[in-house]
Amino acid sequence: MATVLLAEYLFTRLRQLGVGSVHGDPGDYNLDLLDYVAPAGLCWVGNVNELNAGYAADGFARIKGIGALITTFGVGELSAINAIAGAYAEHGESRALGIVEDVQALIKSTNWPSRMTPYGKGLFDETLSNFHGVYKGKIDDPAPQELFDQADLIMCLGPHWSSSNTYEYSTIPKADANVAPREPITHDKLWRIFSEYLLPDDIILEGTGTAGHGIRELLLPPLTRLFGPATWLSIEYMLPAAQGAALAQRELQQERSRDNVLKQETKSGRTILFIGDDSFQMTAQELSTIIRHDLNVVVFLINNNGYTIERCIHGLHERYNAIARWRYLRAPSFFGVEDDAFTTSVGTWEELDEALNDERLMDGKGLRMVELCLDREDVPRGPLVACLERERRQIEGVMPRRGI
């Protein structure tokens, strides 16, 4: 009876399932296994650590439906466990697979008023006249709240009822039913402006922070995919995940081109990451993997000097919510990017407009990076504003401090 080695079988099946790349790190107990990666036709990514590798494999899986991660025994797998737990918590590898096209057809054919949760953003055509954006529950405007509360029927498809995805559970249905150019950029208008920069087939990742709230205001073009924090809320996740998603996007485009199904309107191939300075400092070294594999990634780094969400919750002016001041735009050069790579820092609407209309950013390839300088107490409209105002009142003594 014919036999096949276990390693050969595993990597052959991964290739058959559409996986073209394996994330991970070499270690004493997996070196023999790694000898079988390349012969199976797979790309060995080689991440900078196992935790980042796990995040990258998750990001890869959200684009292609499945990802692969190899760690070494003990220390490697324990290092990756937070990424694996996050993938399980948010069902990263199966998010919305098999339902998107059907729901899209339902929204278009019925013309029913349609909204989504933050975790579902990016799955549907937001240019339809009956699409009304993310429903914000108890902090939304009165009109959509009234429509929601008085509706005879609310159809929920693929619900994910976490507190962060439902505005503290207020979106769960009941059981029975132009700016001054030289002014500084602010969250309240920033995200709608970014809508004009996006292209069909872009992949967008939003960090767990102010970006995760602001990005809900984006109007996405068709075929755009968006991934953001919903349950696990690990702030280290998004940069490594962007690497994985960008690699998966490139593989998909290569497959479409080979099969002659790559359309002109879906040739963007960009992975766009919105990430805070605090999150970036935790996994900045993964830029080296993006550069090493020449991935098409645009990083918009929000520099507000620290943990702004934590400031809103507690410790508005405390040092423990501050971080070291980095010269962020030097990071790509340090990690090996070419000298002509596009990097810029913007702090006004005029500077932002100039950057977003620069063809090197819009149509370039490889890593590009834009630093967005915002005030440390500027946050998007919504729950963060309420938290910030409460913290300010507590500092002023208007409200009592919470006990422990």
Per-residue model confidence as pLDDT tens digits over 299-333: 999 999 999 999 999 999 998 899 999 999 999 99
CATH 3.40.1160.10 fits domain 187-388: no
Distance CA 79, CA 232 (A): 16
Considering the chain, tell me which residue range(s) the CATH 3.40.50.970 domain(s) occupy: 6-94, 187-388
Q: Is the pLDDT of residue 261 over 70?
A: no
The reported pTM is 0.74
Question: Which residue would you say has higher pLDDT here, 160 or 93?
Answer: 160
So what's the pLDDT on residue 104?
85
Name the pLDDT band for 149 (thresholds 50, 70, 90): confident
In the predicted model, what is the mean pLDDT of residues 232-240?
92
* Pick from 192, 247, 232: nearest CA to 215: 192
Which CATH code fits 6-94? 3.40.50.970
Average pLDDT over all residues of the chain: 88
The confidence band for 96, taking pLDDT boundaries of 50, 70 and 90, is very low
Alpha carbon distance, N-terminus to C-terminus of the chain:
67
Q: Is the pLDDT of residue 105 over 90?
A: no
pLDDT digit string (tens) for 172-188?
Answer: 887 665 444 578 999 98
**Quick check: 264 pLDDT over 70?**
no
pLDDT value for 362? 86
- Phi and psi at residue 131, to the nearest 5°: -90, 125
Share of the chain above pLDDT 90, in %: 57
Query: 93 falls in which pLDDT band (50, 70, 90)?
Result: very low
The mean per-residue pLDDT over the stretch 258-276 comes to: 78
- Ranges 68-77, 120-129, 366-375, most confident: 366-375
Backbone angles phi, psi at 106, to 5 degrees: -65, -45
pLDDT at 184: 92
Res. 144: pLDDT tops 50 = yes
Give the best-scoring range by mean pLDDT among 163-167, 253-257, 307-311, 336-340. 307-311
Instruction: Check residues 266 and 91 and name the one with the higher pLDDT.
Output: 91
pLDDT value at residue 178: 42
